[in-house]
Structure 1
Amino acid sequence: MQVSAAPTTTSASLKARSNHKLEARSSKSGDATYYSVGLGSCGHTNSDSEMVAALSSKLMGSGSKGSYCGESITVESESGKSVTVKVVDTCPSCGEGDVDLSPSAFKKLGSLDLGVIPITWSL
């Protein structure tokens, strides 16, 4: 009787999964701003009333399907208010830790009059 081993996972794919898990556990710091939502770099049209966000070009990568497209992130202000949003777009002017929010999502953290709010966020 011949026994065969189960398919193995390559070290490259294990490393990719491991990096994603490590990234998911860490948080980033930056500033939250808001923008007029429309057709995003992830290929879908959203509105200002939805809980959506854009991340930096560095995080999103190149091409029409950024690495964070469709991911949910939780954004928390220094005052302890938080909102969970879906990543739908790229923010070319954002730093790596910054998040550009829909107006509705930004309002969960503070007044639109503030314009910029210091935040932390994680997957």
Structure 2
Amino acid sequence: MFLPATLLFAFLSSALFPIASSAPLDAKAAAVHTGDGTFFTPGLGACGKTNTEKDAIVAVGHGIFDSFPGATANPNTNPICGKKIKATLGKKSVVVTVADRCAGFAGAADLDFTQSAFSKLAAPSVGRIHGVKWTFVR
């Protein structure tokens, strides 16, 4: 079968140079991270919104929060704000929204959940959980 040149070019171009998708291109955004999980009492977060204990939100470790692509000195405009994260511990998972920055003793890939979100992974009496795997989701 003979293909006209324009059709052949379109086919080869799409095979060699796929059309961009909405998938994250940055390695940090696409990676599976592993860190500890804790919980906190929310209020006014680094993303500029006030949340309550009932909200399924998370504070991301300062290392990832501060270096997220597009981050500036104003944390309220950080593109990480509002992103969804799926966090998994063993066979339990929770989807949370980034609303804050976790500083202090937090490692780069650590997550600080609201207690209601943390309790989807472990009993709050545990306090700190290790080996939480997480990734950004759409």
Q: How does 1:45-56 map to 2 (within 5 A)?
A: 45-56=50-61
Equivalent residues in 2 for 1:1-123, closer than 5 Å: 19-20=25-26, 22-61=27-66, 62-64=73-75, 65-77=77-89, 79-93=90-104, 94-118=106-130, 119-123=132-136
How far apart are residue 18 of structure 1 and its match? Answer: 6.5
CA distance in 2, matches of 1:75, 1:88: 15
In the alignment of these two chains, the number of paired residues is 106
TM-score with structure 1 setting the length: 0.79
Q: Which runs of 5+ in 1 are unaligned?
A: 1-13
- In 2, the alpha carbon distance for the partners of 1:102 and 1:54 equals 9
The ranges of structure 1 where at least 4 consecutive aligned residues each deviate by more than 4 angstroms after the TM superposition are none
Percent pairwise identity: 31
2: CA distance, partners of 1:25 / 1:18: 6
Q: Report the TM-score when normalising by structure 2.
A: 0.71
Contact 2:24 2:30 in 1 (8 A): no
